[in-house]
Amino acid sequence: MYYVSTRNASLKFSASEAIVQGLSRDGGLFLPESIPQITMAQVEQLAKLPYPQRAAKIMKLYLEDFFEEELLGFAEKAYGPVKFDTPAAAPVVEVEPGNHVLELWHGPTCAFKDMALQMLPYLLTASLKKTGEEKTVCILVATSGDTGKAALEGFRDVEHTKILVFYPDGGVSDIQKLQMVTQEGANVGVCAVEGNFDDAQTGVKRIFSDAELREQLEKNGYFLSSANSINWGRVLPQIVYYISAYCDLLNAGAVKAGEKINFCVPTGNFGNILAGYYAKHMGLPVGKLICASNENNVLTDFIRTGTYDRNRPFYQTASPSMDILISSNLERLLYLLSGSDEEVRGYMESLNKTGKYTVSEKIRKAVAEEFACGYADDAMGAKTIQAIFTQKDYLMDTHTAVAYTVLKQYRAETADETPTVVDSTASPFKFCTSVLSALGETEQEKGTAIIGQLSSRTGRPAPKPLAELAGKTVRFEQVVSKENMKRVVTEFLR
Ligand SMILES: *Cc1c(COP(=O)(O)O)cnc(C)c1O
């Protein structure tokens, strides 16, 4: 199976080439030429296996130039007991009859980014070997919080890699900052940048396009790569947990083989829900994919009208990982639904020039057929956190609460009673301030003490990686101006 770019389907790449390149040279995103199929009998077989084996078998369908044994080795390390606090890796919990939650935050950074970023380093380093690349890869990341920490944990001490993360000084939460500046590992670097997230991101982009710097780094045996969610190596590991969730529902007797389920996904960059679309089109019995947004509801409008328009105010919400106005992975869906690289190029050009585009009637209809949508603001999310905790004894974070609220709206509007799985994308302990406020606590502890406060208020233990933060040594204290980021890179890669 070959991979093509959403903006030029005539050039074909192997899976490992697509993973090494990350983004196609034409600016498009890589995807497989066709979607491999699985039968219900295969799903029932997978249901008997532990998570790493499910992962290896499913990923193998997309990765012809990898061996299943090899993938199993990666999955056992990525999702094993050193990294995840439950052998299920991504357990499913029934919160109310027919409403299940898929917990994607049992990894080392307590957010769903771990599901992909624990696997990506193995896929990337193996791809480098397969393509004959001998230089050490240096991952550069600009982060507004979650991705940086998850990438650091994923690449920490992985051979032939180094990772350098830039975050906006004062632009991340105390806990997110502490998570990063205490990062362990011999191949990691973390640096604060004066300014906001855009300053950090612009700085990183400038470094990527600096030909002179690249040449100099090549001489030193390095090349630069990125770990953001446009790499196919980040989408693929996410397909696994959709199928795995179905397996778990089968095992629990919550669905019969072949019975349809829905997924409701708190969405930002559209990577997570796109993986659900792939799972469905591999043959998993999925009805609706419900796309849940916060007040930055550009996707809700797109799904309802067929017009994507980013010209709108940007809101900072209590679910910051969904505060996004350009959902990059939507480009892959547009390609899948149109089958035309030329059409996708047109939409993306229009997005670049005018900040908006309107899809064809064919795409609009297909989107409406496959997806439902809705959005919830902070107050609605907070109400859900409070209600589900007091009535159902289940504690959820602000991102999950957006999706759970949208599911409730969807049920009320459509009378669709299909069993539904809500993707839970972060531990509530990662967003203590908002969760405590939702529970009515106004006096809040400072710094890491707030983790203990949420724990005693709810009677839930905090995940170990967060509970242990207070005792960790700060390793990285450098703060630089945007102009000096390049110097940080050259010093890091000397
Ligand atoms: C990244 C993230 C999301 C959004 O996922 P996308 O794949 O970008 O749609 C939702 N919740 C949390 C906690 C995240 O970290």
Residues with beta carbon inside 6 Å of ligand 1? 111-113, 146, 229, 266-272, 321-322, 399, 425-426
CA of 319 to the centre of ligand 1 (A): 9
Annotated catalytic sites, by residue? 113
Q: Which residue is closest in CA terms to ligand 1's atom 8?
A: 269
Instruction: Copy the structure tokens of residue 327.
Output: 């959902």
Closest atom, ligand 1, to C-alpha of 113: 15
The alpha carbons of the chain give a radius of gyration, in whole angstroms, of 21
pLDDT at 203 over 90: no
26 has a pLDDT exceeding 90: no
pLDDT mean over 477-493: 95
C-alpha 347 – ligand 1 centre gap (Å): 24
From the CA of 269, give the closest atom in ligand 1. 8
- Tell me what the pLDDT averaged over the chain comes to: 94
More confident residue, 403 or 201: 403
Mean pLDDT value across residues 262-285: 97
Sorted by sequence, the CB contacts under 8 Å of residue 383 that are 6+ apart come out as: 405, 438
| Contacts within 8 Å (CB) and 24+ apart, 386-393 | 386/438, 386/439, 386/440, 388/95, 389/439, 389/458, 392/95, 392/96
How far does the centroid of ligand 1 lie from the alpha carbon of residue 68, in Å? 28
Residue 189: its pLDDT value, please? 97
- Asked whether the beta carbons of 289 and 371 are under 8 A apart, the reply is yes
Residue nearest atom 2 in ligand 1 by C-alpha distance:
321
Distance in Å, CA 271 to ligand 1 centroid: 8
Sequential DSSP letters for 218-258: HHTTEEEE--STTSHHHHHHHHHHHHHHHHHHHHTTSS-TT
Structure tokens at 5: 């770019």
Instruction: Tell me what pLDDT residue 223 has.
Output: 86
**Atom nearest to 268 CA in ligand 1:** 9
Task: Check: CB of residue 24 under 8 Å from CB of residue 30.
Answer: yes
* Residue owning the nearest CA to atom 1 of ligand 1: 321
The per-residue pLDDT for 162 is 95
Strands (E), 143-232: 161-168, 188-193, 222-225
Q: What is the mean pLDDT of residues 107-121?
A: 96
Give, using CA atoms, the residue closest to atom 11 of ligand 1. 425
CB of 459 closer than 8 Å to CB of 172: no
List, in order, residues 6 or more apart from 442 with CB less than 8 Å away. Answer: none
Average pLDDT over residues 163-185: 90
Q: What is the pLDDT of residues 430-467, one digit of tens each?
A: 999 999 999 999 999 988 999 999 999 999 999 999 99
Measured distance CA(79)–CA(91) in Å, rounded = 12
Atom index in ligand 1 nearest the CA of residue 272 equals 7
98 vs 324, more confident: 98
- Most confident of the ranges 83-87, 159-163, 211-215, 326-330: 83-87
Spatial contact of 392 and 96, defined as CB atoms under 8 Å apart? yes
What percent of the chain clears pLDDT 90, i.e. is strictly above it?
83
CB atoms within 10 A of CB 486: 16
For residue 58, how many other CB atoms are within 10 A of its CB?
Answer: 27
Predicted confidence at residue 388, as pLDDT, reads 98
pLDDT at 25: 81
DSSP notation for 254-277:
SS-TT--EEEEEE-SSSHHHHHHH
Main-chain dihedrals φ then ψ at residue 121, nearest 5 degrees: -60, -35
Judged against a pLDDT cut of 80, whether residue 198 lies above it is answered with no
CB atoms within 10 A of CB 341: 18
Say what percent of the chain tops pLDDT 70. Answer: 100
Sequence letter at residue 438? A
Tell me which residue of 383, 393, 390, 381 sits closest to 460, measured CA to CA.
393
The Å distance, Cα 267 to ligand 1 centre, comes to: 6
Q: Determine the Cα–Cα distance for residues 409 and 413; give it in Å rounded to an integer.
A: 6
Given this model, what pLDDT does residue 227 score? 83
CA distances from 65 to 62, 108, 228, 257 (A): 9, 29, 23, 31
Q: What pLDDT score does 43 carry?
A: 98
15 C-alpha to ligand 1 centroid (Å):
24
Residue 192 has pLDDT above 90, yes or no: yes
Pocket test for ligand 1, best of 234, 236, 272, 317 (most atoms within 8 A of CB): 272
Which of the listed residues 105, 112, 422 should we mutate to test ligand 1's pocket, taking the one with most ligand atoms within 8 A of CB?
112
Atom of ligand 1 minimally distant from the CA of 324? 8
Is 145's pLDDT higher than 80?
no
The pLDDT of residue 202: 81
Test site for ligand 1: of 399, 400, 431, most ligand atoms within 8 A of the Cβ: 399
Ligand 1: residue of 172, 278, 322 to mutate (most ligand atoms within 8 A of CB) is: 322
Give the whole-angstrom CA distance, residue 352 versus residue 343. Answer: 14
167 C-alpha to center of ligand 1: Å? 18
Ligand 1 probe mutation, 113, 323, 425, most atoms within 8 A of CB: 425
For residue 228, what pLDDT is reported? 78
Residue 166 φ/ψ, nearest 5 degrees:
-110, 130
Q: Which atom of ligand 1 is nearest to the CA of 146?
A: 15
Cα separation of 223 and 140, whole Å?
10
Nearest CA to ligand 1 atom 14: 321
Q: Are 79 and 118 a contacting pair, CB within 8 Å?
A: yes
Counting atoms of ligand 1 from 1, which one is nearest the CA of 238? 7
Residue closest by Cα to atom 4 of ligand 1: 268
Kindly give the distance from the C-alpha atom of residue 113 to the centroid of ligand 1, in angstroms, as a whole number: 7
H/E stretch holding 141 reads strand 136-142
pLDDT of 194: 94
Measure 112 CA to ligand 1 centroid, in angstroms: 7
Provide the pLDDT confidence category of residue 127 given band limits of 50, 70 and 90: very high
The amino acid that residue 157 corresponds to is D
